[in-house]
Structure 1
Amino acid sequence: MTGKAIPGLSLADQPPDYEALVAWWAHMREFAPVHYDEKLGYWHVFRYEDAATILNDHTAFSSDMRDLIPQPEQFATVAKGAFLGFDPPQHKKLRNLVSKAFTPRVTAELEPRIEKIAEELLDAMGGSEKIELIDQLAYPLPLTVIVELLEIPAVDRFRFKKWSNALFFQGRTDEPVIVATPEMLQSIEPAIGEMNGYFLDIIRKRRSRPGTDLISKLATVESNGERLADEEILGVCGFLLVAGHITTTMMLSNAVLLLGDHPEHTATLRAAPSAVPAAVEEVLRYRGQLPAAPRRTRQRTNLHGVSIPPDEIVLVWLTSANLDERYFPTADRFDIARTPNHHLALGRGIHYCLGAPLARLELRIALRAMLRRWSGFTVGEGVRLEDPRHTIGAKELPLHVRWEDESPTL
């Protein structure tokens, strides 16, 4: 069995439509769980068991693509701190240092401030019956948290959007390309260079006069005599811009879309807010924000009788794995009480998302605030979605909202 060249089943054959991708994933899980895509030159993996195996095995499946895909100067500079794209021992060193600065306590202490930001954003809607969720809540909430965490000027928010989009989408347009090409990376060099200069200036100032902000903590943290270099701190700042708000924005939009389709679940959560954490996990499983995670084979590997040579790119379809009926009973059902719920939406193994606790906290707070302040909502006309081959979520999400006359405490 080669796993190659199943006609019409390349990612390039799939339209930028979420339901079409769901159908493709289901077909591939059943008939071609490991598949070589001749049009794009990737291997695809679709089932949960295989996806979890790959994510847990950083020896056979590397996250480091640097010598496969040449990086231009500015991108390579910010990538020095992008430990999600490294293997041990470099990954361990960077993650350990960052973890000492970005601790669970730091996240927990943000909760009152996140609640206040959410309330202020809801207040700013002025009781309007028509709102646009992305611009008015889903985007500014996590971005404000990151801006305050890093203590960078809020007036520069318009620049952050350009930079974070450059880092997240990496020059991809409407082509079904998951791993960015050198040409795509070159196209974002001006934006990345501007971001690098901005943050490196701040990092150097904080290193000489540290405060209590996260950049200062990153500049002064030490472990076994090692410290983070300026460029490594820069990479962490870039990671926080992307993971700290784009992914959370997508997660919140997915939650609202799903609850809009399931008003019975909305009613359940309004009556029992203690159920919100489990609902957040089901949103992540059922409609995760990151479709696929790329890995590189370090050695010849066999999956389902398919032999994958070394130095090949393997796309682990997290979203397909999370809908795998072999692992999740009634996987095609959105069940906010699902337990256990060991989804892969935030990764697995050494590359499990460091910002997962913050993303979960922001999503829980935002959902509780909306349920408390709104007696009901429906999704309006004009929803614009991202290309689900790149990321899953909404660009624009108009809502019709009914506001509570009073705001009982949840």
Structure 2
Amino acid sequence: MGNIPYDPWSPDFVADPYPAYAALRAERPVFFHEPTGQWVVTRYADVDALLRDRRLGRSYLHLATHEEFGQPAEADFLTPFWDLIRAGMLDVEPPAHTRLRRLVSRAFTARMVEGLRPTVRRLAEELAGAFVAEGGGDLLTRVAEPLPVTVIAEMLGIPESDRPLLRPWSADICGMYELNPSAQTQRTAVAAAVEFSGYLRELARARRRDPRVDLISSLAQVADEGDRLSEDELIGTCVLLLNAGHEATVNATGNGWWSLLRNPGELARLRADHTLVPSAVEELLRYDTAAPMFERWVLEDVTVGGVTIPRGAEVALQFAGANRDPAVFADPDRLDLGRDPNPHITFGLGIHYCLGAPLARIELAESFGALLRLAPGLALVEEPKWKPGFVLRGLEELQVTV
């Protein structure tokens, strides 16, 4: 790779991948990275096109076995994990994906999500108020984590006494999405998948018998022309909503505040004008992307930037690289909370566009808004450290005073 430092396991790269992205976009926008066995794509136009290209997919199992696709067979001990994950819509392709997304969308409606805004605002105010009363601390564990977990738990209808179980299960399952997870990480993910799916199976059966006003009940009842979710699909969908519904939002909150604290001029601008919050959220999502990389499998040979990527290859689409592409964003390394237009691709594009994007935007706007109102003097205590993962990229903690 010469002197271009693409190394997703390096703490220095995780902390600031943007110089490497700039070099890659200019010199090697499409290249094969031997250590990960992936084709790395960094330009906005290429990432945009590939996200919409049906010759790529999140899975290939609708077309071929692992062996037929040139991939090793999955270890038997991973079966409970993959059965759970593939029962949701994230890691399947049409026609299964089309059907699942249609059914879930009937319950997870725009009206329902917008109806959550008062609840999200109340929770954000309560968390920010308690944080201020304590004099500050770790913004991640006190504000950023509890808000989306509580929102998704309330939305699904998970009893309050059980909610402390959710974050550990989710974190353990999401460990499998990192590059080349260790054997221990894989076994931990399987154990969490077994426990989480067992818990949800009991809850789903109770809601089928005795429906309530919550999303699990709605998903259990939802039907379209006689079609409905199977029990496994219902459980896989709930796990997906919970994992996708808070891991990235927690990291986006922490990354966003760290971006603001490193750019005091823009933070002062936001403090002076809270009407900037919606566009500030979009810019913070672009500027330091919490899910910087998504993978796709190449289902048919595809040519990208003059380079042919063969069937059977895996592509690492660098959302964070695309979000700083100067061909699309003027002065892309500058944080501009009023940036307009701002066509970032943080939530993806195409058929796998993030179903929860509207909810994430509400959570981020209400969280930032509450802290801006209640902690106008919020200040950094010490420079934070980044967690080692790159696929889900966030801070270990963010210690602040109020």
TM-score, normalised to structure 2, is 0.92
CA–CA separation in structure 2 for the residues paired with 1:184 and 1:138: 24
- Please report how far the alpha carbon of residue 73 of structure 1 lies from its aligned counterpart in structure 2 after TM superposition: 2.0
Which residue is equivalent to 2:128? Answer: 122
Q: Secondary structure at the match of 1:316?
A: strand
After TM superposition, give the deviation of residue 264 of structure 1 in Å.
Answer: 2.4
**Structure-1 separation of matches of 2:277 and 2:132:** 25
Once the two structures are superposed, what CA deviation does each residue of 1:178-231 show, in whole Å capped at 9, x if it has no partner?
x65888544421121111100011111112221111000001101122100111
Match among 43, 50, 68 for residue 46 of structure 2? 50
Asked whether the equivalents of residues 302 and 308 of structure 2 are also in contact (C-alpha less than 8 Å), the reply is yes
How has the CA–CA distance of structure 1 residues 296 and 357 changed in structure 2, closer, same or farther, with 3 Å as cutoff? same
Instruction: Quote how far apart the aligned CAs of 1:261 are.
Output: 1.6
The residue that corresponds to 1:404 in the other structure is none
Alignment of 1:5-404 (within 5 A): 6=2, 9=5, 11=7, 14-57=10-53, 59-66=54-61, 67=66, 68=71, 70=74, 72-125=78-131, 127-170=133-176, 172=178, 177=179, 185-381=186-382, 383-387=384-388, 389-401=390-402
Alpha-carbon RMSD across the aligned residues, in angstroms, is 2.0
After TM superposition, give the deviation of residue 270 of structure 1 in Å. Answer: 2.5
What is the rounded CA distance, in whole Å, between the counterparts of 2:270 and 2:383 in structure 1?
A: 26
CA shift digits 1:356-409 (9 cap, x unpaired): 0000001001111111112222111262322352322222111011xxxxxxxx
| Structure 2: distance between partners of 1:306 and 1:373 | 52
**Contact 1:10–1:38 (Cα < 8 Å) also in 2:** no
What amino acid maps onto 1:280 in structure 2? V
C-alpha distance in structure 1 between counterparts of 2:363 and 2:16, whole Å: 30
Per mean C-alpha deviation after superposition, the further-off stretch among 375-384 and 229-238 is 375-384
Total equivalences in the alignment: 391
* Residues 43, 312 of structure 1: 8 Å contact kept: yes
Q: CA deviation at 1:89?
A: 1.0
Which whole-Å CA distance do the structure 2 matches of 1:377 and 1:17 have between them? 28
Name stretches of at least 5 consecutive residues in structure 1 with no aligned partner: 402-410
Identity of aligned residues (%): 35
SS in structure 1 at match of 2:400: strand
CA contact (8 A) 1:171 1:187 kept: no
Q: 1:237 Cα deviation (Å)? A: 1.1
CA–CA distance in structure 2, aligned partners of residues 181 and 310 of structure 1: 27
Task: Please give the secondary structure, in 2, of the residue aligned with 1:35.
Answer: strand
Greater Cα offset, 67-76 or 377-386 = 67-76
* Letter of the 1:142 counterpart: P
Give the stretch that moved more between structures: 141-150 or 124-133.
124-133
SS in 1 for 2:376: strand
Contact 2:33 2:40 in 1 (8 A): yes
Task: Give unpaired runs (5+ residues) of structure 2.
Answer: none
Whether the 8 Å CA contact 2:173–2:193 is kept in 1: the answer is: yes
SS of the residue 1:385 aligns to: coil
Q: Report the Cα distance in structure 2 between the residues aligned to 1:162 and 1:285, rounded to whole angstroms.
A: 28
Structure 1 length normalisation: TM-score? 0.90
Whether the 8 Å contact between 1:11 and 1:37 is mirrored in structure 2 is no
**CA 80–151 in structure 1, closer or farther in 2 if over 3 Å, else same:** same
Q: Is the CA contact 1:171–1:188 (under 8 Å) kept in the aligned structure 2?
A: no
User: Does 261-270 or 321-330 show the bigger shift?
Assistant: 261-270
Instruction: Output the CA distance in 1 between the equivalents of 2:279 and 2:89.
Output: 29
* Separation of aligned partners in 2, 1:268 and 1:20: 24
The CA distance in 1 between the partners of 2:194 and 2:351, in whole Å, is 29
The one-character-per-residue Cα deviations of 1:154-198 (angstroms, maximum 9, x if unpaired) are: 2223321221012212175xxxx2x65888544421121111100
Deviates more, 1:100-109 or 1:253-262: 253-262
Q: Distance between the aligned counterparts of 1:111 and 1:82, measured in 2?
A: 26
Counterparts of 2:8 and 2:343, CA distance in 1 = 30
Q: Note the alpha carbon deviations across 1:277-296, whole angstroms, 9 max, x for none.
A: 11100011111110101001
